[in-house]
Amino acid sequence: MTDADLGNLSLLERISLLEERVTALQQKVAAGAAAAAREFEACAAHKCLAARFDSQNDRNMSLSLEEQIHHRDSMQILDALQQESRVISLASMVANPTPLGLFAFGVTTLLAGADLYGATAKNTFSVALIIGGLAQILAGMWCFRRNNTFGATAFSLFGSYWGARGVQLLVELLHPGLFPSADRAGTCIFYVIFCILTLILLVQALRMNYALSATVFFVALVYIFLAITAYVEGVKYVAATCAIIAGSLAFYVGLADFTNEIYEKPLIPLFPHPRHARDYEEGKRYVPRPHAHKSAVDIPPV
């Protein structure tokens, strides 16, 4: 339909035409987007159109210039919806990277705890560099793609830490004594900084579920006791115990996320926050949400 044809239609007819186009757009999005995304688009289109045209009903409807302006705005809304539908469709094609990140985190944390107890593996640097570093960074980047802010931040942060640690261990193995030994104050400050970052993650994890919150809590304890170890050597065994607990909990959360998504129901409990209890209702299709308070492919509701 041309602009000349639109000019011959009344405002109500134009509204009806726009609603028909929104319905057609919904049908296209339904083929590749998640159910929540489809509901959001329909709701957003309805609210935007209703808000614009209901407010206009109180004005003088005889002005063709105002009608043309609203028609232009409505077309912009439809274009925005089409862009969002393409983003949602692409995001729905990305697998859930959270189990990979949690398993990689668990492996390196358990090995770090064993190392503090004195059981050092030969290939510590390769595990830290590849599993703890590369695997977690990749999981973090995919979490960005899945709109999972918590997972992207946590995995990228800890992946960078273990990647740097792996490079350091490798260089020290090839060139002993290349790096000067850090003093106690510098070591303590380093672990205190990471403890603060972990506590920030803990505040966000409390909004999700208590299994993940416990994992992050014990990671914060590890950094606290490592900071104290710079001055009191014996405290490292307490840090080692906390690291083993944190790694085991990471395995548990990763197993739960992996299993519950595959079987599409909460077989392994994560003890969600009351606001998330609806995600685990009986008979509701399971949407993995242990690391984001919204669905991994959802756009936040308006």
Same domain, 180 and 199: yes
Q: For the chain, how many structural domains are there in total?
A: 2
Dihedral, 263, 269, 271, 276 alpha carbons, nearest 10: 20
Same domain, 70 and 129: no
- Using alpha carbons only, what angle is made at residue 163 by residues 161 and 168, rounded to the nearest 5 degrees? 95
Q: Is 43 a member of any domain?
A: yes
Q: How far apart are CA 159 and CA 290, in angstroms?
A: 19
Same domain, 135 and 29: no
Sign of the dihedral through C-alpha 87, 89, 94, 95: positive
Name the DSSP class of 278.
Answer: G
Q: Is 302 a member of any domain?
A: no
Alpha carbon distances (Å) from 215 to 49, 101, 132, 199, 264: 45, 13, 16, 11, 24
Residue 198 tokens, joined: 């972990």
Q: Is 171 a member of any domain?
A: yes
Say if residue 296's pLDDT is above 50. Answer: no
Same domain, 201 and 249: yes
Q: How far apart are CA 157 and CA 206, in angstroms?
A: 19
**Widest distance between CA atoms in the chain:** 85
Say if residue 297's pLDDT is above 50. Answer: no
Q: Is 269 a member of any domain?
A: yes
Q: What is the mean pLDDT of the chain?
A: 76
Say if residue 59's pLDDT is above 50. Answer: no
Range of the domain at 28: 3-91
Last residue within a domain, chosen from 37, 56, 91: 91
Say if residue 262's pLDDT is above 80. Answer: yes
Question: Which pLDDT value is given to residue 182?
Answer: 72
Residues 72, 64: contact at Cβ < 8 Å? Answer: no
Decide which of 79 and 157 is more confident.
157
Say if residue 197's pLDDT is above 90. Answer: yes
Same domain, 169 and 255: yes
Residues 121, 127: contact at Cβ < 8 Å? Answer: yes
Question: Which pLDDT value is given to residue 292?
Answer: 39
Low-confidence winner among 90-94, 200-204, 257-261 (lowest mean pLDDT): 90-94
Express as a percent the part of the chain with pLDDT over 70: 61
Q: How far apart are CA 167 and CA 182, in angstroms?
A: 17
Same domain, 163 and 45: no
231: Cβ contacts below 8 Å, ≥ 6 apart: 184, 188
Q: Is 260 a member of any domain?
A: yes
Tell me the three state secondary structure of residue 272.
strand
Q: Residue-wise over 239-257: b if at least 16 C-beta within 10 A, else e?
A: bbbbbbbbbebbbbbbbbb
Same domain, 136 and 59: no
pTM reported for the whole predicted model: 0.65
Same domain, 64 and 199: no
Q: Is 132 a member of any domain?
A: yes
Question: Which pLDDT value is given to residue 191?
Answer: 94
What pLDDT digit, counting tens, does each position of 266-292 carry? Answer: 788 888 777 665 655 544 444 444 443
Q: How far apart are CA 272 and CA 97, in angstroms?
A: 20
Q: Given its phi and psi angles, is residue 103 left (phi above 0), alpha (psi -120 to 50 degrees) or beta?
A: alpha
Same domain, 181 and 58: no
Q: Is 161 a member of any domain?
A: yes
Name the DSSP class of 209.
Answer: B
What pLDDT digit, counting tens, does each position of 227-244 carry? Answer: 999 999 889 999 999 999
Same domain, 111 and 227: yes
Same domain, 68 and 176: no
Q: Is 160 a member of any domain?
A: yes
Say if residue 20's pLDDT is above 60. Answer: yes
Decide which of 269 and 20 is more confident.
269
Last residue within a domain, chosen from 91, 110, 126: 91
Last residue within a domain, chosen from 91, 112, 140: 91
Same domain, 69 and 171: no
Question: Which pLDDT value is given to residue 92?
Answer: 57
pLDDT band at 188 (very low <50, low <70, confident <90, very high): very high
Say if residue 87's pLDDT is above 80. Answer: no
